Structure 1
Amino acid sequence: MRILVPIKRVIDYNVKIRVKPDGTGVELANVKMSMNPFDEISVEEALRLKEAGKAEEVVVVSIGPVKAEETLRTALAMGADRAILIETDDALEPLTIAKILKGVADVEQPGLVIVGKQAIDDDSNQTGQMLAALLGAAQATFASKIEIGDGKATVTREVDGGLQTIDVKLPAVVTTDLRLNEPRYASLPNIMKAKKKPLDKKTLADFGVSSTPRLKVMNTEEPSGRKAGVKVASVAELVDNLKISGVL
């Protein structure tokens, strides 16, 4: 079985986000970028399934600028077998990304697609579900445990009421939650080897997908700072203040 893992290059989660002075978006110049944390978990889970003998190959794919090569090589250093880069400098929406990934899946024919449940830059939480719909494949979202059996995957999902375990027929799309695993660190020898591995490079034209956005961002603003709290002398005063603020 082949496992396909889409990964995204995002601003590193340790970096403080800054909005551009003109409000047209987030400042990306001279900012540290890294692999989306949920995608790191996806790569790790794919590698563990391969090491357990449940898969023969792990293929990673990224859609983005040329600099996304660094993110793909991180995945290769972790242990992925092949990497595909679909080059574009445009900001793509989840549906467009899902259509591109469908094109990749049609070629690669993976038995399992493991997708991070969301990216920390836009928090869309849509691509995995859209991809499953386009492929006509089963889906299991917010996975905290994945077990592969005969032609099926048993997935434990994190839901509002606790945990839910479901069986999905392969091929399937699974989106990963934070508690699925702890991603490994790439060793220095593997990092050096990954730098020499060739990447399969493609463009949006190879998939017949347009990058024209369906949505338009009007303005980007930083959230306002939290207001200072106040001390109250009694429960009654607290209730009165909550009523005034509209909470009660």
Structure 2
Amino acid sequence: MSGAGHAPGHGPAASILRIVLLLAYPALSHVASLRSEGGWAALALFGLVLLCLLDALGRRRPVAWAALLASGLLLAWLGRSPWAWMLLLAPPVVFPLLVAWGFARSLRPGRVPLITRIVQALHARAGVPVDDRLERYTRRLTAAWALLLALLAAINLGLAMSAVPDGLLAAFGRQPRWPLSHAQWSWCANVADWGLIGGFFVAEYALRCRLFPQRPYRSAGQFVRQMGQLGPAFWRDLLR
């Protein structure tokens, strides 16, 4: 049998589905917040569950299919209660924190910083060596991303505590000092967060182009394409 085929859950269709699900979550979460409807919140959360289980589903693991079915039934039931919207408060805190931890732990002695590994892989594909100056820069950039994502998680936790009427403080009968409506929370957690991350990425890319004019990509589009060409196995193992 040829080894040229894609592993289950890692073909082009799976990659496109991952992107669609990743982009759909903040959009559905925002709609749920603007309309204060549990059904939309349940749909957003189900898409997030599907995204997390996609690899195992592609490998036809019965436990993954059972987990997806159980999650769907639970969310359908929660969609008729305020708890569905309350669950939306968790992902903007948990996911940035997990990714920040992935960046931070790669800075420990004896490990290669996460962004250094990406740059080394890109340069290796092009047959271009990575000099010491670039390695120092990528180590600092890895730390910067860890700090930014940890800060976002902390801010989102504060927003989750301030949301009314279904925020964390309100759930325990406490009145937040600076109460936020569902819509205000969502504009911050589902829109502003992505704007900040995108702005940081664009600003850093511009700085990198200025500091390191000799690089294996000539444009932002080519940079993104080359990162995609590193393959699913590389990205799957990156945060391990």
Q: Normalising to structure 1: TM-score of the pair? A: 0.26
Q: Normalising to structure 2: TM-score of the pair? A: 0.26
